Amino acid sequence: MRHFDQWLKSLFEYWNYKRPANANLLSAEDVDAIASFLRPNFEVVQPLFDQIESVNCSSVSLTEEQYHYVDIAMDNQRVLCSGGAGTGKTFLAAEMARRFIAQDKTVLLACKSSWLRHYLMTRIKSDKLVIATTRGLPTTMRRSGLDTFDVLIVDEGQDLLNSIDLNILDSAINGGFSDGQWYFFHDANNQANLLSQMDKDSLDWLKTKNNPAVLRLNINCRNTGKILTSIQTSLGCDMGKPTVIEGPEVTEHCGNKKSLIDDLSKLLKELKSSEVDERSITILSSVRKRRSLLSQLDQDEFNSITELDDYKVRKYPFEGMTFAEIKNFKGLENDIIILLDLQAPNSLTDSDSRSLHYVGMSRARAKLYCFWC
């Protein structure tokens, strides 16, 4: 060990002599092959559950921009407020209800759909707020012991623009529509006629009631930029200015029935094996579950998806992956929407209704899958 460096040098010289430096060495192709195996080229992909979380964080902070609309509405006794899907009408209605309750006023929040009523009850927790459908309003008022309310707030008002429902609401407010305090949120241009026939004369009649303030919402705070662009491009409707982050691409499947079934089955397996919360997924169709594309799947796949009804919709978030008819899901939403049993928008004629497409596509907050038949 006294001259270890010399010994080591001799060792290298010996083996270099035994094997010339250029013999049996790796070629450039060998080096590339090994490098590719050990460190392949790859692209960082943000998983879907992480994209959904990013969208939800964006939309939560975005609702702050809606508060100035609440302040405008609160400065008026009567307001007709219109806006496309996702522009925050339900948010405004809920926030105004909270403020009036804080002023010790009796408040009625009215809508047409019993599903929407249950959904609103899960989102607004207050014993002082009465949430009712026009059909169930007489019974609700008897139970509450009230003859009239100080304030009326209407959500999804396009479903109530008819003489029968407006007369019911007129008698439920102190002073009626003429002299009472009311706030009517609607989207008459795009979502009308799904639950009931809209009478345009009724909207004109409402506008004559003591000069209500007219408010137009133009900021979309539900849908990602990609979903919003897809809806506006394919359906040509105004849903306000995009303000939520771009989000993941809208995925569209077209083809014959067999290819759609195969694609749908593959997608459901992928989502169930991913880290996405199944409660954040809702499948929407123009028909009942047993008549939809889902009915062509394996029985186990079919049975694993819960069909929402008037009772199951009372709990939000929903239990597991769910299914609903589009017309019943108006006013509701979920992170991921899978849309079935509708024609591709580019195959619709000028005379075809686009209401189901509009409502179905706009229910998605973060990710939209469309299976066009």
pLDDT digits (tens, 9 = 90+) for 48-88: 777 777 777 766 655 666 778 888 888 999 999 998 888 88
Q: Which of 162, 187, 217 is the last residue of a domain?
A: 217
**pLDDT tens profile 16-41:** 777 665 566 778 888 888 887 877 66
Q: Domain check: are 195 and 108 in the same one?
A: yes
pLDDT for 20 equals: 63
97 pLDDT higher than 50: yes
Across 6-22, average pLDDT: 78
pLDDT for 359 equals: 92
Across 322-328, average pLDDT: 95
Mean confidence (pLDDT) of the chain? 87
193 pLDDT higher than 50: no
Whether residue 132 lies inside any domain: the answer is yes
pTM of the model: 0.79
Task: Name the domain count of the chain.
Answer: 2
Q: Residue 235, Cβ neighbours under 10 Å: how many?
A: 17
Which residue range is the domain that position 90 belongs to?
76-217
92 pLDDT higher than 80: yes
Q: Domain check: are 178 and 258 in the same one?
A: no
Whether residue 66 lies inside any domain: the answer is no
Q: Domain check: are 208 and 261 in the same one?
A: no
Q: How confident is the model at residue 177 (pLDDT cuts 50, 70, 90)?
A: very high
